[in-house]
Structure 1
């Protein structure tokens, strides 16, 4: 029986929390770094804070290389963190192995992107599901209870009849079936948190919705807290209760999913929403201000070995101001919906009045209007996006 089924934990309770989470990877193979006082590092994740709540889905959205998967591996305690804190039920946790790690992963399970790579090809589904049941003490007593537990796991992920799949090898299953087995393996520990690292990106478009619906059903029935990592902001709107947008290792916007996807505040979030296929762009039918708006945000993400000062998006932002080059923006309340925030100086009225948008972007097209500058305030609380 899970905590939610026994009524021991209230819905909406904060289960897992990241506070100022930071991860820097050392850069290897450069001789000059041996004589440097500050060796080069990759700034994979910097100052990431959010909370995962029971019975809710939080989406982490961004392009490849933005640090999303690193955040998931930090929360799974697979990478040691450089700075910041991870709190499980309000208690700071740092585990490296042994019994403490086993106790932690029983509560926090990671679902990887590629189901074929995450399953051992020489073992059957029975083997993959039996191991977590025995390791975490949920296999019951005797062979009969183990068989019931295995059948229950496969039934939970809609692989029925269970006996059809128990003795199958991974290569005998479709991509969607393999991912369902991976989800069942995670459920074998009876976790409270699922960290889903792009769980549908390797699947055919026709079966992605089925897997998302499965996760939604498991979240509702088992009262799980789910972190959903994706580069597809449209699926975040469909699946997640709240959405956080990351760019170059930093969080740039957060709030409820409907607001973030339909009324994006940060220029990068607008770029993500505009990146959806548009037949008019393909045929070249856009012109004037529409064409300029479609072309905004061009260029490449910055190097994370030497990231730009200030806002990391400012080299690509058509509304960049001089302050964007010098100072990293804090979280500012957008003001259109409760809990909607963005890390953008456009929402600081004092900055906009003294430093008009576009002053640090000489090549920006003046026909592209900046987002409205709502009255904002700095917000340093780690749980603002979860309210």
Structure 2
């Protein structure tokens, strides 16, 4: 875990008083009810909750990919309010995304070097980068994600295990030196041994890029325990509990969090928080 909390650091992204209803405001399903969250520089914040708790909806709203009925979102102090807003444009440039299924997020026709290089290639002129610089940064990103660049640069997704493919996706997310990484259930499709490798990759990324903020969406409390500095527990669209990860997991303050921990600790569960 990192050295402090978002309350001690400059806020990277924030959502205040967010409300969202699906199916119309009259008689619709309320997905989020006055939810407020913030994430500080260098912090890893985990959004935790069961299916339908509002984790994915909140994440999409924070990224500007979903509209909200009320509330505000800001990135680096700039409003995220539609594609033309300054915060939205900065967020697109300065964030990296890691999805649940790496094989669905990587182009099967591209080798690892091409996949990792793509964010730099798109903005090469803006960043003032030539081919050699792009290649060098992509190779370093692979190394930071725990992969030998000489061995993996030429590999295609079909030549990789699930854990290796997810580490390529991590390298792609961090190659442009983002201010924010959003990881949406990044280990839920991996077996236990692959998860350990990906956890090590995240640990290395945090050590080498201590200013990067990470927003992690996860139901796996074992992963959260090893990565998060702070936890926000969502249930039926509301914040049930939030606080430092070690406190929330060891001394949960609400019944719903205790239920999540008990379920994660049950025999056969892959999300043990013990």
TM-score range, shorter chain: 0.7 to 0.9
For 2:95 and 2:134, locate their aligned partners in 1 and report how far apart those are by CA, in whole Å: 22
Name the structure 1 match of 2:256.
268
| Residue 245, structure 1, aligned to residue 233, structure 2 | yes
Q: Following TM superposition, by how much is the alpha carbon of 1:219 offset from its aligned partner in structure 2, in angstroms?
A: 2.2
Structure 1 contact 57–225 (Cα < 8 Å) conserved: yes
Counterpart contact for 1:136–1:189, Cα < 8 Å:
no
Q: Deviations over 1:123-159 (max 9, x none)?
A: 2223322220022338754332222122112111121
CA contact (8 A) 1:48 1:251 kept: yes
Contact 2:13 2:73 in 1 (8 A): yes
- 2:36 counterpart (49, 61, 69): 49
Is 1:105 matched with 2:102? no
Give runs of aligned pairs for residues 75-90 of structure 1, distance below 5 A. 75-90=62-77
Residues 1:79 and 1:260: Cα distance change in structure 2 (over 3 Å): same
- Please state if 1:12 is matched with 2:9: yes
In the alignment, which residue of structure 2 is the partner of 1:216? 203
Indicate the structure (1 or 2) with the bigger Cα radius of gyration: 1
Unpaired runs of 5+ residues, structure 1, are: 1-10, 28-37, 282-387
User: What per-residue deviation string (whole Å, max 9, x for no partner) do you get for residues 346-365 of structure 1?
Assistant: xxxxxxxxxxxxxxxxxxxx
Q: Which residue in 2 is equivalent to 1:187?
A: 174
- 1:51, 1:99 → 2: CA distance? 18
Alignment equivalent of 1:131, drawn from 93, 100, 118: 118
Q: Is the 8 A contact 1:86 1:94 kept in 2?
A: yes
1:250 Cα deviation from its structure 2 partner: 1.1
More helix as a share of residues: 2
Normalised by the size of structure 1, how large is the TM-score? 0.62
Preserved contact between residue 115 and residue 172 of structure 2 (Cα < 8 Å): yes
1:22 aligns with 2:19: yes
**Are the equivalent residues in 1 in contact too, given 2:99–2:185 (CA < 8 A)?**
yes
How far apart in 2 are the matches of 1:89 and 1:147? 29
1:233 aligns with 2:221: yes
Report the equivalent of 2:157: 170
Q: Any idea what SS the aligned residue of 1:77 has?
A: coil
TM-score normalised by the chain length of structure 2: 0.85
Maintained 8 Å contact 1:86/1:92: yes
RMSD value, Cα: 2.4
Determine if the alignment matches structure 1 residue 93 to structure 2 residue 90. Answer: no
1:259 corresponding residue in structure 2: 247
The number of residues matched between the two structures is 259
**Structure 1 residues 129 and 140, CA, compared in 2 at 3 Å: closer, same or farther?**
farther
The residue number in structure 2 matching 1:150 is: 138
Matched residue SS, 2:264: coil
